[in-house]
Amino acid sequence: MSELAKAKLTNLFATPLLAHLWSDAAELNDDLRTRILAYESDNPGERKTNVGGWHSEAGQLEFCGDAGRRLIRHMYEMADEATRRVLAECGQPSRPMRWTLHAWVNVNRSGALNRVHTHPGATWSGTYYVDTGDPEAESGTPIHLFDPCQGRANTFLPPLVATSVLQRPEPGLMILFPSYLPHMVFAHRGSRPRISIAFNMRKEPFP
């Protein structure tokens, strides 16, 4: 047996992704969809990473009423749980975190997309899906997540892990990932508007 047979191989630098389908999604999404589309019709929105879609101002989803406030609570719960798990993986005890949250709505109709981007100045970034915009969830327009170390894509043999991942939307699904993770949304082809709510959670004090 070769001496190197006892050598230890370790794959480094994992990126956490937390995904959860909220049990109250059906109740929340009916109200959210109605309020979002009504608000969109009276507001021009902003131009950020969106190409052809509608992007609301960032805030606390005030125009979404009780459903928005309930969803905001879910966002805080998600950030606390993801942070607890990451600290546990590092052997550190869980501790209370103080967060600053900003959330906004994206409405993508046919042909609309979001360019590749990250969210500097935040700790966690996330997305909640109100409507996939397509009657069949498996054909909904996914979010495309990229390996933050793109050098691995063209300097190693072969890549140890996928250099990008597609996450399919599902009504009620919330995903959370580090804000440095590059991501984009391809052009939507569904028959209805694709409605998602993006958010940033910034640990205070930052970083």
End-to-end CA distance of the chain: 48
> Which residue, 131, 78, 75, is CA-closest to 102?
75
pLDDT over 70 at 187, yes or no: yes
How buried is 44 (Cβ within 10 angstroms: 0-12 exposed, 13-18 middle, 19+ buried)? exposed
Is there a contact between 28 and 73 (Cβ–Cβ < 8 Å)?
no
Average pLDDT, the chain: 93
Over the chain, what HEC string results? CCHHHHCCCCCCCCCCCEEEECCCHHHHHHHHHHHHHHHHHHCCCCCCCEECCEECCCECCHHHHHHHHHHHHHHHHHHHHHHHHHHHHCCCCCCCCEEEEEEEEEEECCCCEEEEECCCCCCEEEEEEEECCCCCHHHCCCEEEECCCCCHHHHCCCCCCCCEEEECCCCCEEEEEECCCCEEECCCCCCCCEEEEEEEEEEECCC
Query: Which has the higher per-residue pLDDT, 106 or 154?
Result: 106
Question: Across residues 65-92, what is the average pLDDT?
Answer: 96
CA distance 130 to 149: 31
- The pair of three-digit structure tokens given for residue 76, joined into one six-digit string: 């805080």
> Which residue, 55, 41, 53, 57, is CA-closest to 187?
53
pLDDT tens, residue by residue, 48-59:
999 999 999 999
Query: Which has the higher per-residue pLDDT, 95 or 28?
Result: 28
Question: Across residues 183-189, what is the average pLDDT?
Answer: 96
pLDDT tens, residue by residue, 107-166:
999 999 999 999 999 999 999 999 999 866 566 899 999 999 877 777 777 777 788 999
pLDDT level of residue 182 (50, 70, 90 thresholds): very high
Residue 98 sits at φ, ψ, to 5 deg, of -105, 125
Question: Across residues 72-80, what is the average pLDDT?
Answer: 98
Question: Across residues 79-85, what is the average pLDDT?
Answer: 97
pLDDT over 60 at 86, yes or no: yes
